Amino acid sequence: MDTLVSSTSVTAPVALRKLYFLRFAFAAVWAALLFAAGDTLGPAAVTLLLAYPLFDVAAAVVDIRSARADGGGAPALRVNVAISSLAVVGLAVAAASGVPAVLRVWGLWAITSGIVQLVAGATRRKLGGQWAMIISGAVSTVAGASFFAQAGGGDASLRSLAGYAFLGGVFFLVSALRLNGARNGA
């Protein structure tokens, strides 16, 4: 059952809840800014495109430290750090080639990080609130494939990334709220 807290200390769920709220807020603001930037790869859009996976790296590092402090390992999170770091480099290179190239790199990142998120959520389900992370990982893999399809068609748009990021943020919000409920015995 995903709403039960294991016998591990309560520091992991508390730290995760705070991190998930922060990730929601970042995703919401980022999505609004990218949507406002439009579909051109100007300096603002490129900066935003690079900031998202950089934030993901930072959040994963915080998550790894939290897991380590609680006596747990975090192999899926370490993989996520590597994948998101590669995404930063890939997006920087792709931005010089245009929106379709950016969508392909983002799609590959969404697919691989979605699989990692699925694994991380499944292994943490005893903490509670992880079902939303599991669903989010599945949605991410499907969205990644759709970015590839969009890149090959005539409707390549950076704004679709804004919707993807916002939806991902909503999943983090739901998980944060579920972790709070699990902590309070709900």
- Which has more confidence, 65 or 126? 65
* Section 115-134 average pLDDT: 79
Ordered DSSP codes for 64-127? HHHHHHTT---HHHHHHHHHHHHHHHHHHHHTTT-HHHHHHHHHHHHHHHHHHHHHHHHHTGGG
Q: 144, 108 in Cβ contact below 8 A? A: yes
The predicted model scores a pTM of 0.84
* Section 27-51 average pLDDT: 95
- Which has more confidence, 117 or 59? 59
Percent of the chain with pLDDT over 70: 85
pLDDT, tens digit (0-9, with 9 covering 90-100), for 127-165: 666 787 788 899 999 999 999 899 988 788 999 999 999
